[in-house]
C-alpha cells in the first residue's frame, strides 16, 4: 500500500448560501436573512458538492471589508493589461478588439511542434571582413529550430524581416496573394455603385480589384464572416424604412425587428409582423463567395488522391489541427505559422463589496503585486501529523490513534480558537473523533526577541515549556483532556484522537450503522480515507479602524474592536487498512 500524506482543506462559505451582491447606488450589500440552523449543520466532505468548495489555504483570498474567505469562484476578474508572452510587448485593449487576441508583430509558433519560429534570409550569409555589419537581403522565411520546419515548405516567403504578421495576412499557402479586407470593402462599394447605374468619370485602381476577385474562391473564416456581415447589412438597409432622424425603422441591425426579418427567410415569415412581411420578398440569400457563400465540396476526391500520392504521414494530427487557427486543415501543407496568443494580467475583486483582493503590477517584466490579500496572512494555518512516530502505512480498524494539530497564528493579535467536530465522521464507515482540548489561545505573531525580553529569559515561569522529542518518546507526558500539548510564540498544538471504523460489510448487526444497513454495497473509491470535518471559530481583538476612530474623539484612540471568523475545514488523517 502506498504512503499517505495528511492534508488540510478549507471550505469557502460561498457554497452554503448565495453570496449577497451590491446594487448600484447602495452603500452596503444586500444580506440574506440569517439562518439559525447553519451552525448546526455538519459539513459532509463526501458530498458531491464538496468537491467544488474545498481548497488549500494557499489558493484562497481574504476580504478585509467583508471579513470572509474568498475562493476563485466568488471573485470577479478584471483584465489589467494584455501582453505577448514571446516579445513581452504590451498590447492596447483597442488593438485586441480590432485585431484579435494574437500578437500582431513577428512572434509565431511552429505549426508542427509549437516551438517559436525565427526569421532568416534565404541568401547565404556574407563572409569576410565586416560581414556582421552587412544587412541581408530577402526573401526571408520563418524557420523552426526544433523540428527544422520552414515556411518555404508551404510556399510562403517574405520581403522584409519585420512586420511578418501583416505580410502573412496577404499571402496564401503556395505564394498566392490574399485579398485584404480593405480591398474587399472597396470591391463591394464598386459593385453596389455599378448595380445602381451611376457613372464614374475617371477610372480608378479599384476597378482592377473588382475584376480580379473570384466569385467561387475559397475563403477563410474571417473573410467569409466579413462578406456575410456586409451582405446582410446591405439587405437590411434596403428592406427597412428610414425614420425621421435618419435611422432605420428598428434602430439598428441588431434590433429584434432586424433579426426577425432574417429569421423570416428560413421560417416562412411567421416571426415577422405585418409591416415587415411586405418587405421580406426584397431580401435574398448570398449567392457567391463575394457575398459570403462558401460551398462545401460534395466529395473528397481531391483529398483522397492526395492521400494516396503523399501517404498518411502528410496529414495533420488532431493536436496540430486544434492549435491551428484554421480547423479545416487536413494536410501538413494546409498548416500555417501560428501567431502567439496574448496573455493577460488580471486583478480580482470581491463579488459582495467590490473590494480589490489582488492586483498585479501593470509592468510586464515584473511579477510583483500591488495588492495581494491572501488568506495565509489572516487565517491560522493547520498542520496535522501523528503524535507517535509509527512505521504503519495505514490505520488499524478499531485501534485508537492520536494526531497532533498545530495552529500557527499569522496575525499580530492574540487569537482564541474554538474547535467542534462530529462524534462520528459522515459516511457509511463513521470513525469516532475526539478533540482533547477544543478551546485554546494562540499567541500573537510578534518578534521573537521581543517575546524573549518580555519573559525576561525565564520560559519556565509561564508554565508553557516545550516538550522535547526524548520526553515524547519516553511517554512521560500523556495527552490530557482540556490541556494543550505544546505551545510556542505564535503556535499551539492540541491532540486529536481518532478511532478508525471497521470496513467489514458483513459484520455484526449491532456494529453496523444506519448507512451500512441501507447500503450494503462493496467498498467504493476513497471510502477507506478518514476525513474529519472540523468547524473552526477564531476570535480576536484588534485596533479600531481609522474611520471609526476619527469620529470617537481623542479619548477613545485606544479603542479595540472584537472580530470573529468561522469556517469549516477538512482533515485527511490517513487510510484504514482493509481486513
Q: Which helix (H) or strand (E) holds 518?
A: helix 514-518
The reported pLDDT for the residue numbered 292 is 80
The continuous run of DSSP H or E covering 119 comes out as strand 117-121
Virtual torsion, Cα 145, 150, 156, 161, nearest 10 deg: 30
DSSP string, 387-430: SS----SSBPTT--EEEEEEEE--SSS-EEEEEE--SB-SSSSP
d(CA 552, CA 303): 82
pLDDT at 547: 45
Report how far apart, in Å, the C-alpha atoms of 407 and of each of 91, 382, 438 are: 45, 5, 12
For residue 145, give the DSSP letter.
Answer: T
User: Cell triple for residue 465?
Assistant: 515549556
Question: Taking the CA of residue 414 as centre, how many other CA atoms within 13 Å lie in the half-sphere pointing to its CB?
Answer: 5
d(CA 432, CA 369): 45
- Is residue 171 a contact partner of residue 159, using CB atoms and an 8 Å limit? no
| Structure confidence at residue 217 (pLDDT) | 73
Q: In what order do the strands lie in the sheet with 439-442?
A: 54-55, 7-11, 560-575, 529-543, 415-420, 439-442
- Is the torsion defined by CA of 157, 158, 163, 169 positive or negative? negative
What pLDDT was estimated at residue 519? 74
pLDDT for 436 equals 93
CA 156 to CA 354: how far, in whole Å?
Answer: 50
Task: Find out whether 249 and 276 touch, Cβ atoms under 8 Å.
Answer: no
Cα separation, 389 vs 452, in Å, equals 31
What is the DSSP secondary-structure string of 243-309? -TTSSBTTSSTTSHHHHHHHHHHHHTSTTS-HHHHTTGGG-----SGGGT--PPPS--HHHHHHHHH
With cell 526524548, the residue in question is: 470
Torsion angle in degrees (nearest 10) through CA of 77, 80, 82, 84 = -100
Residue 6 backbone dihedrals phi, psi, to 5 degrees = -60, 150
Q: What is the pLDDT of residue 239?
A: 67
Angle, helices 181-196 vs 205-212, to 10°: value is: 100
The structure's pTM equals 0.72
Find how far residue 15's CA is from the centre of its chain: 18
Interior CA angle at 180 toward 176 and 182, to 5°?
155
Contacts 24+ apart (CB under 8 A), 475-482: 479/387, 479/402, 479/436, 480/436, 481/436, 481/437, 482/436, 482/437
Query: Could you give the CA distance from residue 356 to residue 66 in angstroms, rounded to a whole number?
Result: 12
Task: Write out the chain's pLDDT in tens, 579 residues.
Answer: 567 889 999 999 887 654 444 443 444 554 444 444 544 578 889 888 888 889 999 999 999 998 999 999 999 999 999 999 999 999 999 999 888 899 998 999 999 999 999 999 888 777 767 666 667 777 899 999 999 999 999 999 999 988 899 899 888 888 888 777 677 777 777 776 766 555 444 444 444 444 456 677 777 777 788 888 888 888 777 766 554 444 555 555 556 666 676 666 666 554 445 544 444 446 778 888 778 887 776 567 888 888 889 888 889 998 888 888 766 788 888 899 999 999 999 999 999 999 999 999 989 999 999 999 999 999 999 999 998 876 556 888 889 999 999 999 999 999 999 999 999 998 888 899 999 999 999 999 887 666 666 666 555 444 445 554 445 444 446 788 889 999 998 999 999 999 998 888 776 766 677 777 777 778 888 888 999 999 999 999 988 764 444 444 555 566 788 999 999 999 999 888 876
How much is the pLDDT for 1?
Answer: 54
**Which residues touch 208 (CB under 8 Å, ≥6 apart)?**
none
Amino acid at each position: 500500500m502506498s504512503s499517505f500524506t495528511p492534508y488540510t482543506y478549507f471550505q469557502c462559505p460561498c457554497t452554503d448560501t448565495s453570496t449577497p451582491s451590491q446594487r448600484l447606488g447602495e452603500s452596503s450589500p444586500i444580506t440574506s436573512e440569517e439562518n439559525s440552523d447553519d451552525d448546526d449543520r455538519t459539513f459532509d466532505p463526501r458530498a458531491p458538492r464538496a468537491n467544488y468548495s474545498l481548497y488549500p489555504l494557499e489558493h484562497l483570498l481574504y476580504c478585509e471589508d467583508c471579513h470572509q474567505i474568498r475562493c476563485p469562484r466568488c471573485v470577479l476578474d478584471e483584465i489589467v493589461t494584455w501582453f505577448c508572452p514571446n516579445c513581452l510587448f504590451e498590447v492596447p485593449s483597442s488593438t485586441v478588439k480590432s485585431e484579435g487576441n494574437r500578437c500582431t508583430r513577428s512572434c509565431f509558433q511552429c505549426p508542427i511542434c509549437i516551438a517559436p519560429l525565427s526569421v532568416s534570409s534565404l541568401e547565404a550569409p556574407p563572409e569576410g571582413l565586416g560581414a556582421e555589419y552587412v544587412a541581408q537581403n530577402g526573401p526571408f522565411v520563418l524557420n523552426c529550430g526544433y523540428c527544422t520546419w520552414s515556411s518555404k515548405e508551404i510556399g510562403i516567403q517574405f520581403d522584409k524581416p519585420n512586420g511578418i504578421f501583416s505580410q502573412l495576412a496577404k499571402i496564401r499557402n503556395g505564394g498566392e496573394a490574399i485579398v485584404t479586407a480593405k480591398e474587399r470593402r472597396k470591391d463591394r462599394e464598386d459593385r453596389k455603385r455599378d448595380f445602381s447605374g451611376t457613372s464614374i468619370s475617371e477610372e480608378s485602381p479599384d476597378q482592377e480589384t473588382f475584376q480580379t476577385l473570384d466569385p467561387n474562391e475559397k475563403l477563410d473564416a474571417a473573410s467569409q464572416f466579413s462578406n456575410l456581415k456586409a451582405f446582410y447589412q446591405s439587405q437590411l438597409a434596403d428592406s427597412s424604412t428610414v425614420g425621421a432622424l435618419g435611422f432605420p425603422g428598428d434602430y439598428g441591425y441588431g434590433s429584434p425587428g432586424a433579426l426577425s426579418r432574417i429569421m423570416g427567410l428560413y421560417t416562412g415569415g411567421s416571426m415577422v409582423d405585418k409591416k415587415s412581411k411586405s418587405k421580406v420578398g426584397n431580401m435574398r440569400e448570398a449567392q457567391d463567395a463575394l457575398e459570403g457563400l462558401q460551398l462545401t465540396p460534395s466529395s473528397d476526391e481531391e483529398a483522397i488522391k492526395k492521400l494516396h500520392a503523399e501517404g498518411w504521414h502528410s496529414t495533420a494530427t488532431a493536436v496540430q489541427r486544434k492549435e491551428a487557427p484554421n480547423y479545416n486543415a487536413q494536410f501538413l501543407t494546409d498548416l500555417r505559422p501560428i501567431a502567439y496568443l496574448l496573455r493577460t494580467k488580471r486583478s480580482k475583486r470581491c463579488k459582495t463589496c467590490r473590494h480589490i483582493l489582488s492586483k498585479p503590477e501593470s509592468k510586464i517584466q515584473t511579477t510583483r503585486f500591488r495588492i495581494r490579500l491572501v488568506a495565509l496572512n489572516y487565517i491560522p494555518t493547520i498542520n496535522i501529523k501523528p503524535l507517535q512516530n509509527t512505521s504503519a502505512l495505514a490505520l488499524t480498524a478499531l485501534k485508537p490513534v492520536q494526531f497532533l494539530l498545530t495552529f500557527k497564528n499569522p496575525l499580530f493579535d492574540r487569537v482564541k480558537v474554538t474547535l467542534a467536530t462530529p462524534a462520528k465522521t459522515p459516511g457509511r464507515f463513521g470513525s469516532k473523533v475526539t478533540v482533547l482540548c477544543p478551546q485554546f489561545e494562540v499567541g500573537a505573531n510578534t518578534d521573537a526577541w521581543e517575546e524573549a525580553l518580555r519573559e525576561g529569559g525565564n520560559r519556565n515561569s509561564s508554565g508553557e515549556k516545550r516538550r522535547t522529542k526524548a520526553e515524547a518518546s519516553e511517554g512521560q507526558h500523556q495527552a490530557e483532556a482540556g490541556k494543550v500539548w505544546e505551545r510556542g510564540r505564535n503556535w499551539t498544538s492540541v491532540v486529536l484522537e481518532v478511532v478508525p471504523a471497521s470496513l467489514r460489510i458483513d459484520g455484526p448487526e449491532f456494529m453496523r450503522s444506519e448507512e451500512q444497513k441501507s447500503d450494503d454495497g462493496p467498498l467504493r473509491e476513497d471510502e477507506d480515507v478518514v476525513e474529519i470535518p472540523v468547524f473552526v471559530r477564531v476570535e480576536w481583538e484588534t485596533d479600531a479602524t481609522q474611520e471609526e476612530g476619527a469620529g470617537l474623539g481623542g479619548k477613545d484612540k485606544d479603542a479595540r474592536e472584537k472580530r470573529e471568523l468561522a469556517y469549516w475545514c477538512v482533515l485527511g488523517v490517513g487510510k484504514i487498512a482493509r481486513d
